[in-house]
Chains A and B, each alone.
Chain A
Amino acid sequence: MNEFLHVFIMFLVAGGIGVLALIVGAVLGPKKPSRTKLMAYESGNDPIGSARERFPVHFYLVAMLFIIFDIETAFFYPLAVSFNKLGTFAFWEALAFVVLVAVGYFYILKKGVLEWK
């Protein structure tokens, strides 16, 4: 039973963070309800109307960046699995990898790709 205690604590912490985020958001966030904001959430689309809309090209750009950064994190899974065995060497190598990814992130940030007009 004891080994499940960790899992239980993790559930508590994870759930707690979620609940906490909602409460903090509700208490501290500014509330200016409008028609658009109160609509049912449809990932940014109009919930009523044709589903075959044309997306702005900008959407594809962000989707593309998502693919890249999403896949890069896949390289961390093998690292996480064997991190105990690899020690500090793997840490520095992973850091170099993160720096290279960060260079790409810096570039898109500076280019203004993430600014949604």
Chain B
Amino acid sequence: MNFVAPDVNYYSMLPFITVLLTAVFATILPFYVSRKAIAGLSAVGLLVALAASIGLWNTNLSSFYGAYRSDNFALGFGIVLIVGALIAVISSVDVAKRGGTMQAEFFAILLYAVSGTMLLASAHDLIVLLIGFEVMSLGVYVLSSFQETAKSEEAGMKYFLLGGFASAILIFGIALVFGATGKFGLEAINTAVLSPEFKNSSIAAVGALFILIGFGFKVAMAPFHQWTPDVYTGAPTVVTQFMSVAVKAAAFAGFLHIFGLALQNVSGWQTPLQFLIALTLMIGNLAALRQSNLKRMLAYSSVAHAGYVGLAVLASPSQGFSSALYYLGIYTLMNAGAFAVLNVLSKDDDGLEIESLAGLGSSKPLLAATLTFFLLSLAGIPPLGGFIGKYLIFSAAASSGYYGLVILAALTSAVSLAYYLRPIGLMYFRPRVTVLPDFSGRSTRVLLVVCAAGVLILGLVPNAVYGLLELVKK
């Protein structure tokens, strides 16, 4: 019996293996070293993985017969995910300062979740994709119930129940697609769909709808967004920060892969997705208007942003993939930055009343200035990164002919100005009412400046980075 060793290229999985090994060490070492050392170890591990991702750029290596690919799409998303995790690790240092407890397991579970997100972004096979999806989800369920408060427990519970329900629907959808095509590889599914003897198009269409629901839950698209405000508000702020950027980015990577590669020639999911996006844009932005708590407002704003990125899934893969990646990269910097400011300004994990921001501009100029930056970028004001990101996604969707949705997105984006500008107005044009604490350490202040600079640079010289991303095109 001849045996050929399986196609395993460990080099192609270097970033993933680095993160996983760091997670393993972060599991064992808390028994021997301090919590702070674990934070340092996690940051170093993530930085090594970041360097490995950059080193592998353009190499297009693959492993397991193409089931795991570190092409530029996966590496680009990997970089975004690692940056999101790094910001969460740095922000978690401040939590101890304000007297909150962040157990040492936080870093291990966070890193396991990051390894899941990276697997999800690199998967070209539904088995690998599902494993990444579940590793990510299970990690985040635990993280969101991490604080021993009633709200955090409620958040974890809700997230777990609805997330488990959604992934069961997703798995059933995968079962239907497998039943229709007999394949798991993303390209193989597309080939099977295109072959002339393909007869099961209706089964594949139903499967696509189930998968759409599963991913709609995970990226928080209306009407499957119901869990988002409660979970984002109840979870510890650092975890919300990680969920709102990295989990969303990774889920969109899988979303783009499945619908852009495997099911692009299956009909029947495009129209429902358009409805979802339209609903998401309206509900997310209008509900955010009514919020008085900054954390809850940012939760609804992240629902709205899922709608913007959703447009990229509709667009043709050649434009949609790179514009979604660019947008999610900027979104990671600005949203995680905004949550980092919120984290250092609040005394517990319940968030902050927007009214209490009044007068912050004169009392804490750096925090106020960076928060202003992030909020303006989230609103999409030129020349900041958020504007360029929105522009790229809108033009990608428009060139695929979705003019109505693009107009709706632009209109709701104008509405969003109202809730993004209100905190800024309060910070600079109102006298101080409440004295807010400031738990920012030096590392966080550096982090905020770096994030703000990144948002500005990605907005001012988009060609430098977007030129690289052109290579992401499939």
Q: Tell me whether A and B are bound partners.
A: yes
Residues of A within 8 A of B (CB): 84-87, 89, 100, 103-104, 106-107, 110
CB of B31, distance to nearest CB on chain A (Å): 5
Partner of B28 from A84, A87, A107 at Cβ < 8 Å? A107
Query: B24 near A86 (CB under 8 angstroms)?
Result: no
Query: A103 near B27 (CB under 8 angstroms)?
Result: yes
CB of B157, distance to nearest CB on chain A (Å): 16
CB of A45, distance to nearest CB on chain B (Å): 30
Query: A84 near B1 (CB under 8 angstroms)?
Result: yes
In whole angstroms, how far apart are the Cα atoms of A103 and B31 in the complex? 13
CB of A57, distance to nearest CB on chain B (Å): 15
Interface residues of B in 1-57 (CB under 8 A from A): 1, 3, 5-6, 24, 27-28, 31
Query: Taking chain A's interface residues, is the majority helix, strand, or loop, or is none over half, making it mixed?
Result: helix
CB of A95, distance to nearest CB on chain B (Å): 14
Known contacts A84-B1, A85-B3, A103-B24, then 9 further A-B pairs from the complex at CB < 8 Å, ordered by chain A residue: A85-B1, A86-B3, A100-B24, A103-B27, A103-B28, A104-B27, A106-B28, A107-B27, A110-B31
Chain A residue numbers with a CB within 8 Å of B3 are 85-87
Residues of B within 8 A of A (CB): 1, 3, 5-6, 24, 27-28, 31
In whole angstroms, how far apart are the Cα atoms of A103 and B20 in the complex? 12
Chain A residue numbers with a CB within 8 Å of B27 are 103-104, 107
* Residue in chain A with minimal CB distance to B32: A110
Chain B residue numbers with a CB within 8 Å of A104 are 27
In whole angstroms, how far apart are the Cα atoms of A92 and B138 in the complex? 27
In whole angstroms, how far apart are the Cα atoms of A89 and B3 in the complex? 10
* Residue in chain B with minimal CB distance to A87: B3
Chain B residue numbers with a CB within 8 Å of A103 are 24, 27-28
In whole angstroms, how far apart are the Cα atoms of A41 and B306 in the complex? 58
Query: B5 near A89 (CB under 8 angstroms)?
Result: yes
The 16 listed contacts between A and B (C-beta, < 8 Å) are A84-B1, A85-B1, A85-B3, A86-B3, A87-B3, A89-B5, A89-B6, A100-B24, A103-B24, A103-B27, A103-B28, A104-B27, A106-B28, A107-B27, A107-B28, A110-B31
In whole angstroms, how far apart are the Cα atoms of A85 and B6 in the complex? 12
* Residue in chain A with minimal CB distance to B6: A89
CB of A100, distance to nearest CB on chain B (Å): 7
Chain A residue numbers with a CB within 8 Å of B5 are 89
Chain A residue numbers with a CB within 8 Å of B6 are 89
In whole angstroms, how far apart are the Cα atoms of A100 and B28 in the complex? 11
CB of B461, distance to nearest CB on chain A (Å): 43
In whole angstroms, how far apart are the Cα atoms of A100 and B3 in the complex? 26
In whole angstroms, how far apart are the Cα atoms of A83 and B24 in the complex? 27
CB of A63, distance to nearest CB on chain B (Å): 18
